[in-house]
Amino acid sequence: MVAKYHEAGLEVILDVVYNHTAEGNEKGPTLSFKGIDNASYYRLLPDQPRYYINETGTGNTVNVSHPRVLQMVMDSLRYWVEGTNVDGFRFDLGTILAREPNGFDNKSGFLKACSQDPLLQTVKLIAEPWDCGPGGYQVGGFPPGWAEWNDKFRDTVRDFWRDQAPASELTERICASNAVFNHHGRKPWASVNFLTAHGGFTLNDIVTYNEKHNDAKAARTTTTAALTIAHGTAALRDLPTTRRSQRPAFAADPQYAGHVAAFAGHAHAARGRRVWQNAGGNNNAYCQDSEISC
């Protein structure tokens, strides 16, 4: 499959999740690592090792600072590059992987291992630079050689569109957020620019709802601000003229001037954008097995 994509001129970036497993917290099932060596594979409370440190929001946190766990992750990454020839990785909750016992460290064992590995130096490394733990927000904190999701771009562009951000702030984002990423020799491509992602409002819902509608059963509510302009009530079935005109402009499709791809940095577009995926105003459809998460 990877070879066929390469023949078509496309790269393959794997979304990898090394920060947690399906074993949950101390009440979760014993499926794999918990039964092999619980204290090595997971971060546990130092004074109460029965309990898990939950910096991922999933119940457990993989202890990548342990030498054997780090070796396992590195072996896995090298396998995907050497065995399948993928072009890079996007690391879910990447801050977790750079955590040492005292917190995030941009010289952590994992980051050092990646920087010195001759194979991993040849591929793209992209961090989701936040997690749920203390000091978990680390946008701009990763070392040279890494790219990061830039939520500052998302928030500024959407605020500017709502007339809530000055042009000077937008200029900073257009220039790859220099104040955030331009240090220690990092390049403009370190900023991965996006308006919507797999979490939060879909692009359609940004111009359809003024507030969250996480009404579906078991819907989870996030604290992220909406940063939307509805241009009409959510109950309207027909798209108002204003909203219709805002959709392609805000979507930054290639035929429109000033699109996101023209800004310095990498442009990232979420799945479903071009077909105007509608999640009914639910900004966190993670736990939904329905049309709003399709």
DSSP assignment string, 131-152: -SSTT---TT-SPTTEEEEEHH
Q: Please report, as a single letter, which amino acid is at residue 90.
A: R
How far apart CA 213 and CA 199 sit, in angstroms, is: 14
Q: CB under 8 Å to 114, separation ≥6 — which residues?
A: 74, 77, 120, 121, 125, 145
Is there a contact between 126 and 146 (Cβ–Cβ < 8 Å)? yes
State the sign of the Cα–Cα–Cα–Cα dihedral 200, 180, 97, 95: negative
Q: Please report, as a single letter, which amino acid is at residue 91.
A: F
Residue 185 dihedral angles phi and psi, to the nearest 5°? 80, 15
Q: Please report, as a single letter, which amino acid is at residue 148.
A: E
Active site residues per annotation = 92, 128
| Pick from 266, 274, 286: nearest CA to 90 | 266
Strand pairing category for 99-100 and 103-104: antiparallel
How far apart CA 171 and CA 174 sit, in angstroms, is: 5
